[in-house]
Structure 1
Amino acid sequence: MRVHFHGAAGEVTGSLHEVVAAGRRVLLDCGMIQGSPEAEARNADPFPFDAAALDALVISHAHIDHIGRVPLLVRRGFRGAIHAQAATADLMRIMLLDAAHIAESEAERANRRRAHGQPEAVPLYTAADVEAAMAQVRPLPYDRRENILPGVDLAFREAGHILGSAAVELWADGRKLVFSGDLGPKGTPILRDPAPIDSADLVLMESTYGNRLHRDRAETIRELGRILDETWQDGGNVLIPAFAVGRSQELLYWFAKHWDEWQMSRWRIFLDSPMAAKVVAVYDRHADLFDEGAQRVWREQPNPFRLPNLRLTESSEDSIAINAVERGAIVIAGSGMANAGRILHHFRHRLDNPSTRVVFVGYQGEGTLGRRLVDGAKWVRIHGRDVRVQAQRHTVGGLSAHTDQRGLMEWYGAINGGAGADHPPLALVHGEDQAREALAGEIGQRYGIKPVLVRPGMRFDV
């Protein structure tokens, strides 16, 4: 078994790993690269392999940095099955159609502005490409080992990151590969905790927060309540860039759970996303995946997805109308790293207002607008216009959908190695170097192994 590392190897987006085993080629994830315009331009580059030569694609979860180039892969010749956990399969169409819509809109906008003689802008892929890719998707449940190719078996285990997120177990050539996907912290609302893995001959593990310990969740929730109350007293609005799948639903959960304590009925809450209603419907269909705490909230509190003052704004006209709300609005809008989507329109309209609060509830990748705002930028450029930043900014780290250094070490430490080894070889992916180096040092000290910090183009033999 040989693993070739192509993406999310020294960065946190563009997940792309190729496994060659049993005479077959299996791709793990096919994610979009996110960040600066220069980074995102790499999405259109040729793949570092022949798409038509791949036999199968395995998806860990439905975030766009793990699935965002799947339609492009199919358009370039991939004809194999796409294996995903059942809830992930439901979410994929929603996420990819939204990405196609954004790409088509941006190409149209660029063509309206292009000077005479400039080449025409084309989208990375279209809605038709998405539908072609979805025809190849094969949903699988958790915890069932399936033969997906001659000599290759697959199983998905709960990863606790978003609905349907999975750690991947892959068996071939008498070896077992484990790919963490993205791991969530224990105790994440709605979701069950990551499932333990018993053994592996090689582990590919994410390292997003490999150098951090998250704040206590209870203190984080108290901070969120304080931010909301202070904003109300200041007569302002709250803007929250959040992924449409995962963080948005968790925020609504906390609003419902603290409905009386936070006086949530005084707010107007907008889930400003054309995909919001569709995502809520997917959560409803897969309520059997919720943890016990979520089941209790659904029984005893206002339904988080049907709060009486919640509005799902699907049309552009409804989204623009939010600008007329001078105070008392909570706007949750994509994208989570503020590098595209409707949150940019709200930023352009409200960042220059000191009574506006911007609340960051997830990781902001290097080169993104979200990272620049977190780092204290006084001016930012949005849709070709320079915008002064006078809004107050808050980073609420305890709501991360990624586990921290302690969680990563515990998850890896529970895996037994092959051939009598205490722990299997470890390759760290999906992390910037500072995070990966810190995690590698801690793991080396505790478990006596030297993790590999992979780079694009590296390969690992098992």
Structure 2
Amino acid sequence: MRMSFLGAAGTVTGSKYLLEHEGQHVLIDCGLFQGYKQLRLHNWDPFQLPVRELDAIVLTHAHLDHSGYLPVLARNGYRGPVYATAATCELVKILLRDSGRLQEEEAEFANRHGYSKHTPALPLYTEQDAERALKLLRPLELHHRVDIVPGMSIQLRCAGHILGAATVEVVAGGVTLVCSGDLGRPNDPLMFAPETIEHADYLLVESTYGDRRHPVESPEEQLAQVITRTAMRRGITLVPSFAVGRAQLLMYHLYRLLQRRAIPDLPIYLNSPMATDVTRLYQRFRSEHRLSQEECEGMCHVAHFVRTTQESINLDLQRTPAVIIAASGMATGGRVVHHLKALAPNPINTLLVPGFQAGGTRGAQIVAGAESVRIHGKDVPIRAEVVPMETLSAHADADEIMQWLRGFKQPPKHTFVVHGEPNASDVLRRRIGQELGWSVSVPEYRDSVELAPIDQPPHLPS
């Protein structure tokens, strides 16, 4: 079995790993590159092989850096199955439709206002392309081994992180490969802990937080302090948030804070039709998260769901304290960008920026202290209070990744550290080598390796 690293190698986005075995080609994850322009340009590159030679795709979870490239392949002729858990399939339906629609809207906006360097500006893909991709989804149950192509089988296990997220075990040619996907936290308030895996000949492990530990402070205490402080200034707390996972975690904590009367009784808005639809899936898939029925109901009803564009525009005219949660999580697009234009220049407001911000994104620039950010061809000053919040991450931190790795009964033949910025991946590589004594490396973009059977040495890139 040969594996090629087509994304999330040397960076934290664009997750794609191509497996080749006996003439069959399978792609593990199918993500978009995000962040720096030189990374985003890879989204326009020709695929590694003719699309019609690709036989199957497996998704670890629904986030766009793992699923958002599917419409490109579908538009270019891919007609094979896309395997994922049932919850992931439902989330992907929401995310890809929204992503296609958003890219069309942004291209149209750029053309109308003339700020694109390309004439005309074109979307990477359209909502129609997304619909093509959605017809290919094939839901799988956890813990059921399935033959996906001749000579290759997979099994999915719970990875925590977000609803539906899974680790993928691939068996082919006497070799077992485990792909961690994005690992959740063992004590996440919403999601169950990642399942322990005891055996792999080869392992792909994510390293998003491979060089750091999450703060021990209570996220609810930090939220309460920030929201109360902003409300006393008569300001608005704006929270850029991923529609899947983080928005729901925020609403859960806000529900608990209101129950305890730890924050003022102010309006809370969830300004993302996509996040609204996602939140309702938590009620449908109640057996796949920790929340009781009462907690799930409370989370789902704590915010006013903003549906229409006009409602979103009206929020920018809000003159009393409020909390606005809006996509996207790194402020790269969506409705939060328009709120930034309206709210960031005013020092009475707060920009509460939770979780990891990939390099090159507006969120990363804001957290780094940028005096202004470029939005729709104009520089928008950042005068609002900026509060980074690292206590809401759905990713395992470095210690929690190491804890998960210690669940293996014997060392994999080789471990590949992926899905992290260079420093994070390299720090985790060193820890795995020094503390566990495992054979480990950090692959580079477009590297290709031969996954030899257990009695032969692996053919690693030089």
**So what's the TM-score if we normalise by structure 1?**
0.94
State the superposition RMSD in angstroms.
1.8
CA offsets 1:235-286 (integer angstroms, 9 cap, x no match): 1110111100000000111111222334456111110012133212222211
Q: Which residues of 2 match residues 58-457 of structure 1 at below 5 A?
A: 58-114=58-114, 119-216=119-216, 219-264=218-263, 266-291=265-290, 294-295=291-292, 298-299=293-294, 303-307=298-302, 310-417=303-410, 422-457=411-446
How far 1:416 sits from its partner (Å)?
A: 3.4
Deviation at 1:114, TM superposition (A): 4.4
Contact 1:256–1:302 (Cα < 8 Å) also in 2 = no
CA contact (8 A) 2:282 2:296 kept: no
Measured in 1, the distance between the counterparts of 2:202 and 2:3 equals 10
Same amino acid, percent of matched pairs: 38
Report which stretch shifted further, 240-249 or 322-331. 322-331
Q: Which amino acid aligns with 1:39?
A: L
- Checking the alignment, whether the CA contact within 8 Å between 2:228 and 2:263 is kept in structure 1 is no
Structure 1 CA distance for aligned equivalents of residues 329 and 75 of structure 2: 27
Give the conservation status (yes or no) of the 8 Å contact 2:21–2:172: yes
Residue 198 of structure 1 contacts residue 414 of structure 1 at CA under 8 Å; is this kept in 2?
yes
Structure 2, gaps ≥5 residues long? 452-462
Distance 1:145 1:386, change over 3 A: same
* 1:71 alignment partner, SS class: helix
CA distance in 2, matches of 1:316, 1:116: 23
Q: Is the 2:71–2:133 contact (alpha carbons within 8 Å) kept by the matching residues of 1? A: yes
In structure 2, C-alpha distance between the alignment counterparts of 1:365 and 1:323, rounded to whole Å: 26
Residue type matched to 2:401 in 1? L
Q: Which residue of 1 aligns with 2:53?
A: 53
CA distance in 2, matches of 1:300, 1:167: 27
Hey, what's the Cα distance between the residues in 2 that align with 1:346 and 1:427?
Answer: 40
The AA in structure 2 aligned to 1:245 is: V
Question: Mapping of 1:2-17 within 5 angstroms?
Answer: 2-17=2-17
Q: Report the Cα distance in structure 2 between the residues aligned to 1:157 and 1:276, rounded to whole angstroms.
A: 25
Counterpart code for 1:23: G
**SS of the residue 1:398 aligns to:** coil
Asked if structure 2 preserves the Cα contact closer than 8 Å seen for 1:8 and 1:430, the reply is: yes
Distance of 1:210 and 1:118 partners within structure 2: 38
Counterpart Cα distance in 2 of 1:117 and 1:123: 13
Residue by residue over 1:310-350, the C-alpha shift from the partner in whole angstroms, topping out at 9 and shown as x without a partner, is 21111110101111212321011111111111111111001
1:23 deviates by 3.3
Q: Which amino acid aligns with 1:336?
A: G
Asked whether the equivalents of residues 415 and 424 of structure 1 are also in contact (C-alpha less than 8 Å), the reply is: no
5+ unaligned residues in a row in structure 1: which ranges?
none
Deviation string 1:268-312 (CA, Å, 9 cap, x unpaired) is: 111001213321222221111112xx11xx4268611012xx211
CA distance in 1, matches of 2:78, 2:448: 22
C-alpha deviation, 1:87, in angstroms: 0.1
1:193-235 alpha-carbon deviations (Å, 9 max, x no partner): 101112001000110100001112x533211211111112221
Given that 2:224 and 2:263 are in contact with CA atoms closer than 8 Å, whether structure 1 keeps it comes out as no
Conserved 8 A contact 1:22-1:172: no
SS of residue paired to 2:316: helix
> In structure 2, what residue type is equivalent to 1:232?
A
CA distance in 2, matches of 1:248, 1:456: 31
Is 27-36 or 364-373 further displaced after alignment? 27-36
Give the secondary structure class of the aligned counterpart of 1:170: strand
2:14 is equivalent to residue 21 of structure 1: no
Q: Deviations over 1:363-414 (max 9, x none)?
A: 1000000000000011111112211111111111121111100111111221
Residue 117 of structure 1: how far off its partner (Å): 12
| Distance in 1 of aligned mates of 2:60 and 2:156 | 8
**Equivalent position amino acid for 2:168 in 1:** V
- CA–CA separation in structure 2 for the residues paired with 1:117 and 1:8: 27
Checking the alignment, whether the CA contact within 8 Å between 1:229 and 1:262 is kept in structure 2 is no
- Give the whole-Å Cα distance in 1 for the aligned partners of 2:117 and 2:384: 40
Kept after mapping to 1: 8 A contact 2:110/2:116: no
Instruction: Give the secondary-structure state (helix, strand or coil) at the position aligned to 1:211.
Output: coil
SS in 1 for 2:94: helix
Instruction: Check the 8 A contact 2:144/2:155 in 1, yes or no.
Output: yes
